C-alpha cells in the first residue's frame, strides 16, 4: 500500500531491530580496515573529533533523509520515489534517486560477496592452524596464491552469495530480522572478546596512541575530505539500503534518536576495530599496510606469531564475516523489493534470480585478480576497479546528495515535520540548512575531489 502505515514486505518488530539492521548495514568491511587506517594517518584523536563532526553534519542528516523518504513511501526505493513524486507533484526526474540506489546496490553486491568470501577462506585457514608460525613472505604468498586461483575465489564467492540469498529470500521477519537478531549481538560479543585479548598485548599502548594521539597539525584539507567521505560512505548511504529498511520502520519510532544511535554504534565498532588490529600489528613489529594487505596479510601474519593466535584469528575473521553478511543482505534488499512489487513475484524466486545474476556479474571481480588482471575497462585498471569507481565515486555520492536535496526542498515541510516530530519554527529552518544545504554541499565537494582530485 503506497504511502500507508505498513509496507507490503513486512515491518520491523520494533525500532531496536531497525537499529541493529541499519547498524549491520553500516558496519562492514570498511569499518574493519579503512577507518582505523585513515585515523592513524590523519591525526589520530584529532581526526576522530573531525570525523564525529562530519557524521553529525553530513552522515546523520542524509541518513535521516533516507529514512524519512522510505517511511513516507513504504515501498522499494524506486516505487517510493514514484509515489512521492506523484503525491506532491514533483518532477519525474527525482525517480533517478531510486534507480541510482538500486543499480548501485546491485553492482556493489556483485563484488562485495567476492571480497567477503575471502574472510570465509581465512576462517578455515586460521582455524586449521595453517598460519601458525608463518613468515611474512609465506603469509603474502598464501594470499597471492589464493587470488591467483579463480576456482577458489568462485567457491567462496558462491558460498557467501548463497548465505545472502537464503536470508533475504525469507523476508523481513523470517530473514532480515532473524539474521540481525543473531549476527549483530554475536558481532558485538566477538569484538569485546578481541578487545580484551588486545589489551593483554605488549603493543596495546602503542596501538592506543596510534589511534588517539591528538596531532592537530595533521588536519589538512585532505584529512577534512577523508573525514567527510568516511562519514558518508560508512553509513551505507546512497545505495537504497537505508531507504528500503526505512520503509519497514514503525511509525512510532523516533527517526532522530534512532539514526543517532546507529551512527554511534557504527563509529564505536570502527574505533574498536582499530583498537583490536593495531596492538596486534605493533606487538609483532609489523607495518600498518592499507586495504586488503592489512586485513588479509598483515593481521593473519600477526595472529600466526602469537600464543592462541589460531583461536583469536578465527574469532577475528568470524567477526569480519558477520559484519559482511549484515551489510550484504541490506545491499540486496532494494532491488529485490522493487522486482517483487513490480511483478508481484514470489520473494524467494526473485532472491535466487537476482542472486544468480549478481553472482555472474561478480565473476568480473574474481577474474580481475587473475585472468583479467591486465584488462582495462574504460580507463580503469580492472573490472573490479571500474565497478568500485562507478559506485563509490559516482552513484553513491550523487545519490546521497540528491536524497538530501529531495528531503530538504522537494518534500513538503509538513511531511518532514510529521516524520521528525518537528513544528514550524527554528528547528525546521535548521533542518533545511543542514539537510538541504550543508550536507549536499559537503558530499558534492567529496564527489568532485574524488573524481578529479
Is residue 416 predicted with pLDDT exceeding 80?
Answer: yes
| Sequence-distant (≥ 6) Cβ neighbours of residue 4 within 8 angstroms | 74
H helices of 284-308, where?
A: 292-293, 299-304
Confidence of residue 1 (pLDDT cuts 50, 70, 90): very low
pLDDT digits (tens, 9 = 90+) for 230-277: 888 888 898 999 999 999 998 888 999 999 999 999 999 999 988 998
Is residue 221 predicted with pLDDT exceeding 90?
Answer: no
According to CATH, what is the number of the domain 15-452? 1.20.1740
Domain ranges of the chain: 15-452
pLDDT digits (tens, 9 = 90+) for 288-308: 655 667 788 888 988 888 888
Is residue 224 predicted with pLDDT exceeding 70?
Answer: yes
- Average pLDDT of the chain? 90
| Among the listed residues 339, 409, 419, 410, the one whose alpha carbon sits nearest the alpha carbon of residue 75 | 339
Percentage of the residues of the chain whose pLDDT score is greater than 70: 97
| Sequence-distant (≥ 6) Cβ neighbours of residue 258 within 8 angstroms | 15, 18, 19, 22, 67, 249
pLDDT digits (tens, 9 = 90+) for 387-405: 999 998 899 999 999 999 9
Q: What is the mean pLDDT of residues 336-351?
A: 94
pLDDT digits (tens, 9 = 90+) for 4-57: 567 778 888 888 889 999 998 888 877 887 788 788 778 788 888 899 899 999
Amino acid at each position: 500500500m503506497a504511502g500507508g502505515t505498513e509496507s507490503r514486505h513486512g515491518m520491523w518488530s520494533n525500532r531496536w531491530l531497525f537499529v541493529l539492521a541499519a547498524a549491520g548495514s553500516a558496519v562492514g568491511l570498511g569499518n574493519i580496515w579503512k577507518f582505523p587506517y585513515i585515523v592513524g594517518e590523519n591525526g589520530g584523536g584529532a581526526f576522530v573529533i573531525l570525523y564525529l563532526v562530519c557524521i553529525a553534519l553530513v552522515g546523520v542528516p542524509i541518513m535521516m533523509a533516507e529514512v524519512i523518504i522510505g517511511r513516507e513511501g513504504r515501498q522499494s526505493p524506486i516505487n517510493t520515489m514514484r509515489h512521492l513524486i506523484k503525491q506532491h507533484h514533483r518532477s519525474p526526474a527525482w525517480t533517478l534517486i531510486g534507480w541510482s540506489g538500486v543499480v548501485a546496490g546491485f553492482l556493489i553486491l556483485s563484488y562485495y560477496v567476492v571480497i567477503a568470501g575471502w574472510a570465509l577462506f581465512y576462517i578455515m585457514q586460521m582455524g586449521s592452524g595453517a598460519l601458525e608460525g608463518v613468515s611474512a613472505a609465506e603469509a603474502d604468498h598464501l594470499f597471492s596464491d589464493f587470488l591467483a586461483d579463480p576456482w577458489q575465489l568462485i567457491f567462496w564467492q558462491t558460498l557467501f552469495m548463497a548465505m545472502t540469498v537464503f536470508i533475504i529470500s525469507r523476508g523481513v521477519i523470517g530473514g532480515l530480522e532473524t539474521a540481525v537478531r543473531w549476527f549483530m549481538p554475536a558481532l558485538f560479543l566477538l569484538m569485546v572478546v578481541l578487545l580484551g585479548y588486545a589489551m593483554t598485548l605488549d603493543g596495546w599502548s602503542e596501538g592506543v596512541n596510534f589511534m588517539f594521539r591528538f596531532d592537530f597539525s595533521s588536519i589538512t584539507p585532505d584529512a577534512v575530505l577523508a573525514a567527510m567521505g568516511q562519514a558518508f560512505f560508512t553509513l551505507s548511504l546512497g545505495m537504497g539500503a537505508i531507504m528500503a529498511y526505512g520503509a519497514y520502520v514503525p511509525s512510532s519510532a523516533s527517526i532522530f534518536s534512532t539514526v543517532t544511535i546507529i551512527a554511534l554504534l557504527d563509529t564505536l565498532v570502527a574505533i574498536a576495530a582499530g583498537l583490536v588490529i593495531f596492538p596486534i600489528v605493533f606487538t609483532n613489529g609489523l607495518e600498518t599496510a592499507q586495504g586488503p594487505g592489512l586485513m588479509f596479510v598483515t593481521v593473519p601474519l600477526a595472529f600466526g606469531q602469537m600464543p592462541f593466535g589460531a583461536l583469536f584469528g578465527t574469532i577475528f575473521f568470524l567477526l569480519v564475516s558477520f559484519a559482511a553478511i549484515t551489510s550484504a543482505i541490506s545491499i540486496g534488499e532494494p532491488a529485490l523489493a522493487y522486482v517483487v512489487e513490480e511483478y508481484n513475484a514470489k520473494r524467494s524466486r526473485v532472491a535466487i534470480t537476482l542472486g544468480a545474476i549478481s553472482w555472474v556479474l561478480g565473476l568480473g571481480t574474481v577474474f580481475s585478480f587473475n585472468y583479467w588482471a591486465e584488462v582495462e575497462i574504460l580507463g580503469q585498471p580492472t573490472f573490479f576497479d571500474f565497478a568500485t569507481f562507478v559506485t563509490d565515486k559516482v552513484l553513491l555520492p550523487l545519490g546521497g546528495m540528491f536524497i538530501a536535496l529531495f528531503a530538504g526542498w522537494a518534500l513538503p515541510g509538513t511531511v518532514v515535520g510529521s516524520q521528525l516530530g518537528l513544528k514550524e519554527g527554528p528547528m525546521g529552518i535548521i533542518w533545511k540548512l543542514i539537510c538541504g544545504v550543508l550536507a549536499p554541499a559537503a558530499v558534492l565537494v567529496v564527489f568532485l575531489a574524488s573524481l578529479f582530485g
